[in-house]
Amino acid sequence: MTTQPNNLDQWFDHYADRASGLAASEVRALFAVASRPEVVSLAGGMPYVSALPQDLITDSINRVMRDRGPAALQYGSGQGLPALREQILEVMALEGIQASVDDVVVTTGSQHALELVTKLFINPGDVVLAEGPSYVTALVVFRSFQAEIAHVEMDEFGLVPDSLRAHIAAVRAAGKTIKLLYTVPTFSNPAGVTLSWQRRIDVLEIARENGILVLEDNPYGLLYFDGPPPHAMRSVEEEGVIYLGTFSKTLAPGFRVGWVLAPHAVREKLILANEAAVLSPSSFTQSVISEYMSVADWKGQIGTFRDVYRERRDAMLTALDDYLPDLDWTVPNGGFYVWVTLPNNLDSKSMLPRAVKELVAYTPGTAFYADGNGRSNMRLSFCYPTPEFIREGVRRLSTVVNGERELLNTFSQTAPLTIAPPARSMINPPANLS
């Protein structure tokens, strides 16, 4: 959204101050481009729903309509369907979380949980600490409530505790209030790295000492490839963590069902916020998911997704090794994303039009920073295209990168060029690839 006056908008001076934070993300503009069939999109975060047992889902829907149609078609509770909340406890138990069904609030995807938590806690000017880089639409939400975002450094083991301490001290020295630490500790979006167990303990301890609520966003934790990741942070800290989960990656995003697990007093307020925003999450899609979980081998299905995405991750890493061996990238043990660092002052954002011309799309690193960092990074997602298309996408990308390098070399031999300095990459590639 532009914050410049728009002669075509007679209501321009009516918008709330927070509306200026509602900017179109760089990811958003990409969606239109990347949806053209000839483009190999390594840009999106769409799960491969074609791997779902669609017959089983259809059967579940038919049973819902037959056995409890009027209830599924009706308004529901602002907290969500009790039967589904019980099943959500089973999902979270897989990552070590013990909780009461009373403390789960079902939301319209975990995105809406992010929105509700932010609405509940953030005054204009409050600071949210977030990994650098962070999930782009979380940053959009924080900004839409006028939060300031302070990025904490990451390395291949996730959030760096010393950097966290330093940022807390610096923000407080500037007289600002820190409300939340937002983190995707497992198979992070976009960096693809995982916070080690010891660091989880350290980060929770730092948060506790400083009275900062941890907002743990965990959409990918069950989608591991080489062995289970550390348990969720919420598994060892009940009062200091608001935990977000979702069925969008392990089942289907089209249902828009996620959840928040919050300390008891907080969850009461989240229910009120949920009711104000949507009255109740969809009874229908909640009922379908609950029925599916009660009859399907949903854990086995998550195993199927692991196999699908493992093969795609491997295809991407192999293609990067083959086509772009001198670049740096992270090696995710799960999730959807590889984070690539470009060499030689290449700028991922200005390179994007050339990439689209070569029929490949990615997300520029700047989308994942609130501070302009990330120009030398790009996020490549391996969740949606088949292994063959992933390989072809990376091949096309190598044409773009190599072409851009040649161009820069040519120019640098003929005339001085003003090029933005590369942003410091917060993610060091793992030793075996650097």
Residue numbers 168-197 binding a copy of itself by CB under 8 A: 179
Site for a copy of itself in 228-257 (CB under 8 A): 239, 248, 252-256
Looking at the Cβ atoms of 243 and 329, the one nearer to a copy of itself is 243
The verdict on whether omega for the bond into residue 124 sits within 30 degrees of 0, i.e. cis, is no
Among 284, 336, 339, 382, binds a copy of itself (CB under 8 A): 284
- CA distances 362 to 74, 291, 320, Å, are 41, 37, 14
Site for a copy of itself in 381-410 (CB under 8 A): none
Q: Which amino acid is at 369?
A: Y
Number of chain residues interacting with a copy of itself (CB under 8 A): 83
Among 33, 89, 201, 278, binds a copy of itself (CB under 8 A): 278
Beta pairing, strands 154-155 & 158-159: antiparallel
Name the segment binding a copy of itself (CB under 8 A); options: 20-28, 153-161, 187-195, 351-359: 20-28
Beta carbon of residue 237, minimum distance to a copy of itself (angstroms, whole number): 12
What order of strands is seen across the sheet that includes strand 104-107?
104-107, 258-261, 241-246, 213-217, 178-183, 127-131, 148-152
Beta carbon of residue 56, minimum distance to a copy of itself (angstroms, whole number): 11
Question: Residue 48 CB: number of other CB atoms within 10 A?
Answer: 16
Two structure tokens written together for 322: 């083959």
Site for a copy of itself in 70-109 (CB under 8 A): 70-76, 78, 108-109
Beta carbon of residue 53, minimum distance to a copy of itself (angstroms, whole number): 11
Site for a copy of itself in 103-142 (CB under 8 A): 108-109, 111-112, 115, 119-123, 126, 137, 140-141
Looking at the Cβ atoms of 222 and 271, the one nearer to a copy of itself is 271
Please report whether residue 10 would count as binding a copy of itself according to CB under 8 A.
Answer: yes
Q: Which amino acid is at 217?
A: D
Among 29, 36, 58, 350, binds a copy of itself (CB under 8 A): 58
Do residues 234 and 97 lie in contact, with contact meaning Cβ atoms separated by under 8 Å? yes
Main-chain phi, psi angles of 349, to 5 degrees: -75, -45
Distance CA 115, CA 111 (A): 6
Radius of gyration of the chain (CA): 22
Looking at the Cβ atoms of 278 and 408, the one nearer to a copy of itself is 278
